[in-house]
Structure 1
Amino acid sequence: MYSNQWLNLCRFYFAEYKKKGSDIIHPESDVYFIVDAPTDVELEVGHAAATIFDAGSKKSLGELAKTNTRFSVLNVCSVPLQETTNLDGKYKVLFDLLTPMVKEGYAQFGEHENEDVNKFEKAVLYDFKNRLMKAGCFNKPCKVVVYGEFAKTYFEKIDDVNMECEVLYVTSDSCDLKELNIE
Protein backbone atom coordinates (compact mmCIF):
# COMPACT_ATOMS: atom_id res chain seq x y z
CA MET A 1 0.00 0.00 0.00
CA TYR A 2 1.26 3.48 -0.78
CA SER A 3 2.29 5.62 2.15
CA ASN A 4 -0.36 8.32 1.71
CA GLN A 5 -3.13 5.72 1.37
CA TRP A 6 -2.03 3.98 4.58
CA LEU A 7 -1.81 7.25 6.52
CA ASN A 8 -5.23 8.35 5.24
CA LEU A 9 -6.65 5.02 6.36
CA CYS A 10 -5.13 5.69 9.80
CA ARG A 11 -6.85 9.09 9.91
CA PHE A 12 -10.23 7.56 9.03
CA TYR A 13 -9.72 4.83 11.60
CA PHE A 14 -8.90 7.34 14.35
CA ALA A 15 -11.91 9.47 13.43
CA GLU A 16 -14.23 6.45 13.55
CA TYR A 17 -12.94 4.74 16.70
CA LYS A 18 -11.51 7.52 18.89
CA LYS A 19 -14.70 8.21 20.86
CA LYS A 20 -15.45 4.53 21.48
CA GLY A 21 -12.62 3.95 23.97
CA SER A 22 -12.24 7.10 25.96
CA ASP A 23 -10.07 8.20 28.84
CA ILE A 24 -11.60 8.81 32.26
CA ILE A 25 -10.22 12.11 33.52
CA HIS A 26 -11.12 14.04 36.66
CA PRO A 27 -9.45 17.44 37.27
CA GLU A 28 -9.14 16.71 40.99
CA SER A 29 -7.41 13.32 40.56
CA ASP A 30 -4.19 12.68 42.40
CA VAL A 31 -3.52 9.26 40.82
CA TYR A 32 -3.30 8.85 37.04
CA PHE A 33 -3.10 5.39 35.49
CA ILE A 34 -1.54 5.07 32.04
CA VAL A 35 -2.60 1.96 30.08
CA ASP A 36 -1.86 0.91 26.50
CA ALA A 37 -4.96 1.02 24.24
CA PRO A 38 -8.60 -0.06 24.43
CA THR A 39 -9.54 -3.69 23.77
CA ASP A 40 -12.81 -5.35 22.71
CA VAL A 41 -13.98 -5.58 26.31
CA GLU A 42 -13.11 -1.96 27.01
CA LEU A 43 -14.97 -0.77 23.92
CA GLU A 44 -17.97 -2.81 25.04
CA VAL A 45 -18.08 -1.57 28.65
CA GLY A 46 -16.89 1.96 27.87
CA HIS A 47 -13.95 2.11 30.28
CA ALA A 48 -10.53 0.63 30.99
CA ALA A 49 -10.73 -2.94 32.20
CA ALA A 50 -7.05 -3.24 33.10
CA THR A 51 -6.18 -5.76 35.75
CA ILE A 52 -5.24 -3.16 38.32
CA PHE A 53 -8.09 -3.38 40.75
CA ASP A 54 -9.31 -2.80 44.25
CA ALA A 55 -9.40 -6.21 45.94
CA GLY A 56 -11.79 -4.92 48.58
CA SER A 57 -14.48 -3.87 46.12
CA LYS A 58 -13.48 -6.24 43.27
CA LYS A 59 -13.75 -3.30 40.85
CA SER A 60 -11.57 -2.97 37.77
CA LEU A 61 -9.50 0.13 37.22
CA GLY A 62 -12.10 1.69 34.92
CA GLU A 63 -14.94 0.99 37.33
CA LEU A 64 -12.96 2.65 40.12
CA ALA A 65 -12.16 5.71 38.03
CA LYS A 66 -15.79 6.12 36.98
CA THR A 67 -16.94 6.23 40.60
CA ASN A 68 -13.94 7.77 42.39
CA THR A 69 -12.64 11.14 41.17
CA ARG A 70 -9.33 10.51 42.89
CA PHE A 71 -8.39 8.23 39.96
CA SER A 72 -8.02 9.02 36.26
CA VAL A 73 -7.20 6.59 33.44
CA LEU A 74 -5.56 7.49 30.15
CA ASN A 75 -4.84 5.19 27.22
CA VAL A 76 -1.54 5.74 25.42
CA CYS A 77 -3.49 5.29 22.20
CA SER A 78 -7.14 6.30 22.14
CA VAL A 79 -8.08 3.62 19.59
CA PRO A 80 -7.56 -0.16 19.60
CA LEU A 81 -4.16 -1.21 18.28
CA GLN A 82 -5.01 -4.87 17.97
CA GLU A 83 -7.69 -6.27 15.72
CA THR A 84 -11.01 -6.31 17.54
CA THR A 85 -14.02 -8.54 16.98
CA ASN A 86 -16.32 -5.91 15.49
CA LEU A 87 -13.66 -4.07 13.51
CA ASP A 88 -14.67 -2.86 10.06
CA GLY A 89 -12.88 -5.06 7.50
CA LYS A 90 -11.53 -2.05 5.61
CA TYR A 91 -9.03 -1.55 8.45
CA LYS A 92 -7.51 -5.05 8.28
CA VAL A 93 -4.45 -3.78 6.40
CA LEU A 94 -3.66 -1.46 9.33
CA PHE A 95 -3.57 -4.34 11.76
CA ASP A 96 -1.22 -6.37 9.62
CA LEU A 97 1.33 -3.67 10.56
CA LEU A 98 0.05 -2.54 13.97
CA THR A 99 -0.46 -5.86 15.77
CA PRO A 100 3.24 -6.82 15.69
CA MET A 101 4.12 -3.30 16.89
CA VAL A 102 1.85 -3.64 19.91
CA LYS A 103 3.04 -7.11 20.82
CA GLU A 104 6.76 -6.37 20.72
CA GLY A 105 7.66 -3.77 18.10
CA TYR A 106 7.23 -0.84 20.46
CA ALA A 107 10.78 -1.53 21.66
CA GLN A 108 12.01 -0.20 18.29
CA PHE A 109 9.99 3.03 18.61
CA GLY A 110 10.72 5.26 15.62
CA GLU A 111 13.24 2.81 14.14
CA HIS A 112 11.02 0.48 12.08
CA GLU A 113 11.91 -0.36 8.50
CA ASN A 114 8.42 0.72 7.48
CA GLU A 115 8.39 4.51 7.71
CA ASP A 116 4.58 4.51 7.92
CA VAL A 117 4.77 2.71 11.26
CA ASN A 118 7.29 5.29 12.51
CA LYS A 119 4.94 8.12 11.50
CA PHE A 120 2.03 6.37 13.17
CA GLU A 121 4.00 5.97 16.41
CA LYS A 122 4.91 9.66 16.41
CA ALA A 123 1.26 10.63 15.84
CA VAL A 124 0.15 8.39 18.73
CA LEU A 125 2.83 9.92 20.98
CA TYR A 126 1.81 13.47 20.02
CA ASP A 127 -1.87 12.74 20.77
CA PHE A 128 -0.98 10.99 24.05
CA LYS A 129 1.21 13.87 25.23
CA ASN A 130 -1.52 16.40 24.45
CA ARG A 131 -4.14 14.39 26.36
CA LEU A 132 -1.78 14.08 29.35
CA MET A 133 -1.19 17.82 29.34
CA LYS A 134 -4.94 18.52 29.17
CA ALA A 135 -5.50 16.08 32.05
CA GLY A 136 -3.32 18.34 34.19
CA CYS A 137 -1.14 15.67 35.74
CA PHE A 138 2.13 17.35 34.77
CA ASN A 139 1.63 20.56 36.69
CA LYS A 140 0.66 19.28 40.12
CA PRO A 141 2.02 16.81 42.66
CA CYS A 142 0.44 13.41 41.98
CA LYS A 143 1.18 9.76 41.26
CA VAL A 144 1.35 8.43 37.74
CA VAL A 145 1.09 4.64 37.47
CA VAL A 146 2.32 3.38 34.09
CA TYR A 147 0.91 -0.09 33.38
CA GLY A 148 2.86 -2.38 31.03
CA GLU A 149 5.88 -2.18 28.74
CA PHE A 150 4.00 -0.60 25.82
CA ALA A 151 2.76 2.26 28.02
CA LYS A 152 6.21 2.62 29.60
CA THR A 153 7.87 2.99 26.19
CA TYR A 154 5.54 5.82 25.17
CA PHE A 155 5.52 7.53 28.57
CA GLU A 156 9.32 7.67 28.61
CA LYS A 157 9.34 9.29 25.13
CA ILE A 158 7.50 12.36 26.42
CA ASP A 159 9.86 15.29 26.68
CA ASP A 160 9.71 19.06 27.15
CA VAL A 161 7.47 18.88 30.21
CA ASN A 162 8.16 19.59 33.85
CA MET A 163 6.63 16.80 35.87
CA GLU A 164 5.96 17.15 39.56
CA CYS A 165 4.64 13.58 39.67
CA GLU A 166 5.89 10.45 41.34
CA VAL A 167 6.01 7.79 38.61
CA LEU A 168 5.44 4.09 39.33
CA TYR A 169 5.89 1.35 36.73
CA VAL A 170 3.81 -1.84 36.89
CA THR A 171 4.88 -4.70 34.66
CA SER A 172 3.03 -7.63 36.26
CA ASP A 173 -0.16 -8.96 34.68
CA SER A 174 -2.33 -7.74 37.53
CA CYS A 175 -2.03 -5.97 40.82
CA ASP A 176 -4.06 -4.53 43.65
CA LEU A 177 -4.02 -0.86 44.61
CA LYS A 178 -2.64 -1.87 48.01
CA GLU A 179 0.46 -3.31 46.30
CA LEU A 180 1.03 0.18 44.88
CA ASN A 181 0.48 1.85 48.28
CA ILE A 182 -2.63 3.53 46.89
CA GLU A 183 -5.78 3.29 48.95
Structure 2
Amino acid sequence: MHLLHHGTLATLGTIKTTFQLTSVLDVLLDTDTSVGSGNYNPELDDPEYCNASSTALYELTMLSRHYHPTVRKMAMHIARGVPASGEGSLPPEIGKLTSHELYDQFDSTQMVFNPVIPVPKQVEPKMKKGRHQFINSDFKLYWKSIIRSGEAALKEKSGLKDPPGYNFYNALVNN
Protein backbone atom coordinates (compact mmCIF):
# COMPACT_ATOMS: atom_id res chain seq x y z
CA MET A 1 0.00 0.00 0.00
CA HIS A 2 2.99 2.30 0.49
CA LEU A 3 4.55 1.74 -2.92
CA LEU A 4 4.36 3.84 -6.05
CA HIS A 5 2.31 2.36 -8.86
CA HIS A 6 5.26 0.65 -10.59
CA GLY A 7 6.30 -1.03 -7.32
CA THR A 8 2.72 -2.07 -6.69
CA LEU A 9 2.48 -3.55 -10.19
CA ALA A 10 5.70 -5.51 -9.67
CA THR A 11 4.37 -6.87 -6.37
CA LEU A 12 1.03 -7.78 -7.96
CA GLY A 13 2.95 -9.42 -10.82
CA THR A 14 4.77 -11.63 -8.32
CA ILE A 15 1.46 -12.52 -6.62
CA LYS A 16 -0.11 -13.30 -10.02
CA THR A 17 2.76 -15.60 -10.98
CA THR A 18 2.62 -17.34 -7.60
CA PHE A 19 -1.13 -17.87 -7.97
CA GLN A 20 -0.61 -19.35 -11.44
CA LEU A 21 2.04 -21.78 -10.18
CA THR A 22 0.38 -22.79 -6.89
CA SER A 23 -3.33 -23.60 -6.76
CA VAL A 24 -3.32 -23.86 -2.94
CA LEU A 25 -3.12 -20.06 -2.62
CA ASP A 26 -6.75 -19.65 -3.70
CA VAL A 27 -7.52 -19.79 0.05
CA LEU A 28 -6.11 -16.24 0.31
CA LEU A 29 -8.97 -14.94 -1.83
CA ASP A 30 -11.58 -16.34 0.56
CA THR A 31 -12.56 -13.89 3.30
CA ASP A 32 -14.13 -16.62 5.46
CA THR A 33 -12.08 -16.79 8.67
CA SER A 34 -13.46 -20.18 9.73
CA VAL A 35 -11.10 -21.90 7.28
CA GLY A 36 -7.84 -23.01 8.85
CA SER A 37 -6.89 -23.76 12.41
CA GLY A 38 -7.17 -20.43 14.20
CA ASN A 39 -6.38 -16.79 13.58
CA TYR A 40 -3.44 -15.50 11.60
CA ASN A 41 -0.66 -14.23 13.86
CA PRO A 42 2.12 -12.53 11.88
CA GLU A 43 4.19 -11.88 15.02
CA LEU A 44 5.20 -15.52 15.52
CA ASP A 45 8.75 -16.36 14.51
CA ASP A 46 7.92 -19.80 13.13
CA PRO A 47 5.83 -19.51 9.93
CA GLU A 48 4.53 -23.04 10.43
CA TYR A 49 2.56 -21.99 13.52
CA CYS A 50 1.36 -18.52 12.46
CA ASN A 51 -1.74 -19.94 10.67
CA ALA A 52 -1.02 -18.27 7.35
CA SER A 53 -3.93 -20.16 5.81
CA SER A 54 -6.30 -18.08 7.95
CA THR A 55 -5.43 -14.75 6.33
CA ALA A 56 -6.82 -13.05 3.23
CA LEU A 57 -5.65 -10.55 0.62
CA TYR A 58 -7.79 -7.65 1.87
CA GLU A 59 -5.49 -5.18 0.13
CA LEU A 60 -6.94 -6.19 -3.25
CA THR A 61 -10.15 -4.35 -2.36
CA MET A 62 -8.29 -1.09 -1.87
CA LEU A 63 -6.08 -1.65 -4.91
CA SER A 64 -9.17 -2.15 -7.08
CA ARG A 65 -9.78 1.60 -6.50
CA HIS A 66 -6.18 2.68 -7.15
CA TYR A 67 -5.44 5.87 -9.13
CA HIS A 68 -3.47 3.93 -11.76
CA PRO A 69 -5.68 2.04 -14.24
CA THR A 70 -3.24 -0.86 -14.70
CA VAL A 71 -3.00 -1.44 -10.94
CA ARG A 72 -6.81 -1.58 -10.84
CA LYS A 73 -6.87 -4.13 -13.67
CA MET A 74 -4.18 -6.29 -12.08
CA ALA A 75 -5.85 -6.22 -8.63
CA MET A 76 -9.21 -7.22 -10.10
CA HIS A 77 -7.49 -9.95 -12.13
CA ILE A 78 -5.99 -11.46 -8.98
CA ALA A 79 -9.23 -11.01 -6.98
CA ARG A 80 -11.09 -13.02 -9.63
CA GLY A 81 -8.66 -15.92 -9.27
CA VAL A 82 -6.17 -15.13 -12.07
CA PRO A 83 -8.33 -16.30 -15.00
CA ALA A 84 -6.44 -17.10 -18.22
CA SER A 85 -9.29 -15.91 -20.47
CA GLY A 86 -12.74 -14.42 -20.28
CA GLU A 87 -14.00 -11.84 -17.82
CA GLY A 88 -11.31 -10.60 -15.46
CA SER A 89 -8.40 -11.67 -17.63
CA LEU A 90 -5.59 -9.25 -18.41
CA PRO A 91 -4.79 -7.90 -21.86
CA PRO A 92 -1.91 -9.92 -23.41
CA GLU A 93 0.48 -6.95 -23.43
CA ILE A 94 0.22 -6.74 -19.61
CA GLY A 95 -0.41 -10.39 -18.75
CA LYS A 96 2.82 -11.66 -20.32
CA LEU A 97 5.11 -9.23 -18.48
CA THR A 98 7.27 -10.42 -15.58
CA SER A 99 7.52 -8.50 -12.32
CA HIS A 100 10.78 -6.86 -13.40
CA GLU A 101 9.29 -5.85 -16.76
CA LEU A 102 6.21 -4.40 -15.04
CA TYR A 103 8.44 -2.39 -12.72
CA ASP A 104 10.56 -1.03 -15.58
CA GLN A 105 7.73 -0.38 -18.05
CA PHE A 106 5.54 1.56 -15.60
CA ASP A 107 8.37 3.42 -13.83
CA SER A 108 7.57 7.13 -13.70
CA THR A 109 10.99 8.48 -12.66
CA GLN A 110 11.40 9.95 -16.16
CA MET A 111 8.15 11.94 -15.64
CA VAL A 112 6.28 9.79 -18.15
CA PHE A 113 3.00 8.24 -17.05
CA ASN A 114 2.12 4.91 -18.67
CA PRO A 115 -0.65 4.82 -19.91
CA VAL A 116 -0.73 8.44 -21.01
CA ILE A 117 -3.09 10.66 -19.02
CA PRO A 118 -5.85 11.96 -21.32
CA VAL A 119 -6.18 15.71 -21.74
CA PRO A 120 -9.16 16.97 -19.71
CA LYS A 121 -12.13 18.26 -21.65
CA GLN A 122 -12.77 22.00 -21.70
CA VAL A 123 -15.79 22.63 -19.52
CA GLU A 124 -17.67 25.91 -19.45
CA PRO A 125 -17.89 27.24 -15.89
CA LYS A 126 -21.34 26.91 -14.41
CA MET A 127 -21.50 30.37 -12.88
CA LYS A 128 -19.79 33.48 -14.17
CA LYS A 129 -18.10 35.95 -11.85
CA GLY A 130 -20.38 38.70 -10.64
CA ARG A 131 -23.63 36.78 -10.97
CA HIS A 132 -25.78 36.00 -7.98
CA GLN A 133 -28.25 33.19 -7.64
CA PHE A 134 -31.12 33.40 -5.21
CA ILE A 135 -33.16 30.48 -3.99
CA ASN A 136 -36.07 32.71 -3.02
CA SER A 137 -37.22 35.11 -5.75
CA ASP A 138 -38.78 37.44 -3.13
CA PHE A 139 -35.36 37.92 -1.56
CA LYS A 140 -33.92 38.77 -4.97
CA LEU A 141 -36.51 41.54 -5.43
CA TYR A 142 -35.86 42.80 -1.89
CA TRP A 143 -32.10 42.84 -2.50
CA LYS A 144 -32.49 44.77 -5.77
CA SER A 145 -34.73 47.34 -4.04
CA ILE A 146 -32.05 47.90 -1.39
CA ILE A 147 -29.42 48.39 -4.10
CA ARG A 148 -31.66 50.87 -5.95
CA SER A 149 -32.44 52.82 -2.77
CA GLY A 150 -28.74 52.91 -1.90
CA GLU A 151 -27.97 54.18 -5.40
CA ALA A 152 -30.61 56.91 -5.10
CA ALA A 153 -29.43 57.95 -1.62
CA LEU A 154 -25.83 58.14 -2.81
CA LYS A 155 -26.82 60.32 -5.78
CA GLU A 156 -28.83 62.64 -3.50
CA LYS A 157 -26.07 62.98 -0.94
CA SER A 158 -23.23 63.55 -3.40
CA GLY A 159 -25.16 65.61 -5.90
CA LEU A 160 -23.09 64.06 -8.67
CA LYS A 161 -24.39 62.59 -11.86
CA ASP A 162 -23.24 59.23 -13.15
CA PRO A 163 -21.08 59.15 -16.26
CA PRO A 164 -22.84 57.69 -19.31
CA GLY A 165 -23.01 53.88 -19.17
CA TYR A 166 -22.37 53.76 -15.38
CA ASN A 167 -24.39 51.19 -13.47
CA PHE A 168 -24.22 51.31 -9.66
CA TYR A 169 -25.32 47.67 -9.33
CA ASN A 170 -22.61 46.37 -11.67
CA ALA A 171 -19.99 48.58 -10.01
CA LEU A 172 -20.99 47.19 -6.60
CA VAL A 173 -21.04 43.55 -7.67
CA ASN A 174 -17.85 43.57 -9.76
CA ASN A 175 -15.67 45.40 -7.20
Same fold (TM over 0.5): no
**TM-score, structure 2 normalization:** 0.26
**TM-score, structure 1 normalization:** 0.26
Choose between structure 1 and 2: higher helix proportion: 2
Of structures 1 and 2, the one scoring higher in RCO (CA 8 A, sep 6+) is 1
Q: Which has the larger radius of gyration?
A: 2
